């Protein structure tokens, strides 16, 4: 597992290019990883190839959503294994497919929005799968505007600022998100490879 990256609309689910799709054999057969004693590899839906769909069969809960935001917070941009990031974003897309319902499950904070937005890669287009997922979640959260709630207004406004800075080539992301959060990392730098391969 890499450690160098760690630091302190439309109702649709996005896919990945074929070369980035999940191979069941790549999923760790670690019982503790799934939280219920069942290996991730055995939990993956038969025939499923899209990591964005991995957690969608699970009803969103406060624990699941807060854990997703915590992962985004704990890792620098580029420091998360791409399939892990895709799984994480897919869960958030599902939770906030209706923003008000998602907000009732987990009351989003400005810090959550910033740590979501920091994983946008402005060098890549909006059609890149991760960028599209993040922009979609921000767009849904921006729909909280006009609900008569001051906290929702702040969240919606920050989502719009981040989206605006991403799309506007004249603006920088650090104008919307604290620069300390935007320090980039690379999950490959300290990737720990297996010392040996076990065959069943």
Any idea how long the chain is?
A: 200
User: What are the distances in angstroms from CA 93 to CA 11, 41, 106, 113, 127?
Assistant: 9, 22, 13, 13, 16
- Backbone torsion region of residue 151, taken as left when φ is above 0, otherwise alpha when ψ lies between -120 and 50, otherwise beta: alpha
Contacts of 183 (CB under 8 A, 6+ apart): 7, 76, 77
Question: What is the predicted pLDDT for the residue at 110?
Answer: 96
Question: What is the predicted pLDDT for the residue at 187?
Answer: 63
Average pLDDT, the chain: 78
Which residue reads 């959260």 in tokens? 141
Task: Give the three-state DSSP class for 85.
Answer: helix
Residues 73-102: tens digit of each pLDDT: 999 998 888 999 999 999 999 999 999 999
For residue 183, give the nearest of 7, 55, 22 by alpha carbon. Answer: 7
For residue 105, pLDDT beyond 60: yes
Which value, to the nearest 10 degrees, does the dihedral of the CA atoms of residues 6, 72, 58, 45 take?
-60
- By the 8 A CB rule, do 6 and 41 touch? no
- In terms of pLDDT, which residue wins out, 45 or 19? 45
By mean pLDDT, which of 121-125, 134-138, 151-155 is the weakest?
121-125
Q: Which residues pair with 75 in a beta bridge?
A: 6
By mean pLDDT, which of 51-55, 92-96, 142-146 is the weakest?
51-55
For residue 20, pLDDT beyond 60: no
- In terms of pLDDT, which residue wins out, 86 or 50? 86
């Amino acid at each position: 597992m890499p450690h160098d990256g760690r630091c302190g609309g439309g109702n649709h689910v996005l896919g990945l290019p074929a070369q980035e799709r999940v191979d069941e054999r790549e999923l760790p057969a670690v019982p503790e990883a799934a939280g219920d004693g069942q290996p991730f590899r055995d939990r993956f839906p038969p025939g499923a190839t899209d990591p964005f769909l991995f957690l969608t069969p699970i009803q969103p809960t406060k624990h699941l959503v807060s854990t997703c935001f915590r992962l985004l917070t704990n890792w620098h941009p580029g420091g998360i294994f791409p399939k892990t990031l895709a799984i994480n974003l897919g869960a958030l897309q599902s939770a906030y497919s209706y923003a008000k319902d998602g907000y009732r499950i987990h009351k989003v904070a400005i810090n959550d929005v910033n740590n979501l937005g920091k994983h946008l890669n402005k060098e890549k287009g909006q059609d890149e799968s991760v960028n599209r997922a993040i922009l979609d979640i921000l767009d849904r959260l921006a729909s909280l505007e006009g609900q008569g709630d001051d906290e929702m207004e702040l969240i919606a406004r920050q989502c719009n600022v981040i989206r605006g800075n991403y799309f506007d080539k004249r603006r920088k992301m650090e104008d919307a998100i604290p620069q300390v959060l935007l320090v980039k990392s690379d999950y490959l730098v300290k990737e720990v490879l297996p010392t040996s391969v076990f065959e069943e």
